[in-house]
Amino acid sequence: MYALVTGGSRGIGKAVALRLARQGYKVIINYQSNDAAAEETLAQIREEGGDGELLRFDVSQREATETALAKWQEEHLEDYIEVLVNNAGIRRDNLLIWMEPDDFERVIQTNLFSFYNVTRPLMQPMIRHKYGRIVSIASLSGQKGLPGQCNYSAAKGGLIAATKALAQEVGRKNITVNAVAPGFVKTDMVDGLDEAELKKQIPLNRFAEADEVAALVEFLVSKDAGYITGECISINGGLYT
């Protein structure tokens, strides 16, 4: 059993990769540039008795993504990727009036276009085997919008909508498609934010741990979640419902 986790070397992606490996999946850890972090994650998986491999490509680049996935499939003719976790993402926050075009475009490409770039090449094998699990990491920002994140909110809101649409397309093939929308999580994605001040707005009075988000992803890819599809599940400590 193979599972692909994009942006799987750090943060939520790493926590997801570790949990899926413990469930017996061979985890394909996608990453863009940080070789050391990716190798460290793979080493930890193997130390715990699991297995996996590294697959380096930029999810925002369609041709590079398709090439990497096609090459993987050629090298694994008897296998297919049955679980996909679209996790890779970036932030480039600013008020829209001061946001540079590149900051808007790069966030959209990495957080939203990547859904198409990665998911589409993996659909046919899932359909052929009549089984698949797709989970995309959305965000609170995509549900309610956050100031300074017009780009990020647009990307994550689009990801949620795409999740709901795809779920209706492939449900008859026993493929579930869901999204998870975290609030503030202790990863490098929240660097620069005022944690002490933001915690005051959260009923549970803390940021989430990456492993708590990973636990929800682990459930959604399990057989027990086979009747859940087209959903966006919040995990934000009660900040937004």
Residue 52, H or E segment: strand 51-56
Under DSSP, is residue 87 helix (H, G, I), strand (E, B) or coil?
Answer: coil
- Tokens in use for 87? 């996790």
Under DSSP, is residue 35 helix (H, G, I), strand (E, B) or coil?
Answer: helix
Name residue 31's beta-bridge partners: 56
User: Which amino acid does the sequence have at 59?
Assistant: V
Active site residue 2: no
CA distance 64 to 195: 37
DSSP classification of residue 21: H
The answer to whether the beta carbons of residues 71 and 56 sit under 8 Å apart is: no
Please write down the HEC assignment for all residues of 220-231.
Answer: HCCHHHCCCCCC
- Tokens in use for 14? 């790493």
Q: Which among 151, 88, 82 has a CA at the least distance from the CA of 115?
A: 88
Q: Say how many residues make up the chain.
A: 241
Catalytic residue, from 25, 152, 227, 240: name it: 152
CA distance 164 to 147: 25
CA distance 67 to 75: 12
Under DSSP, is residue 130 helix (H, G, I), strand (E, B) or coil?
Answer: coil
Active site amino acids: 152
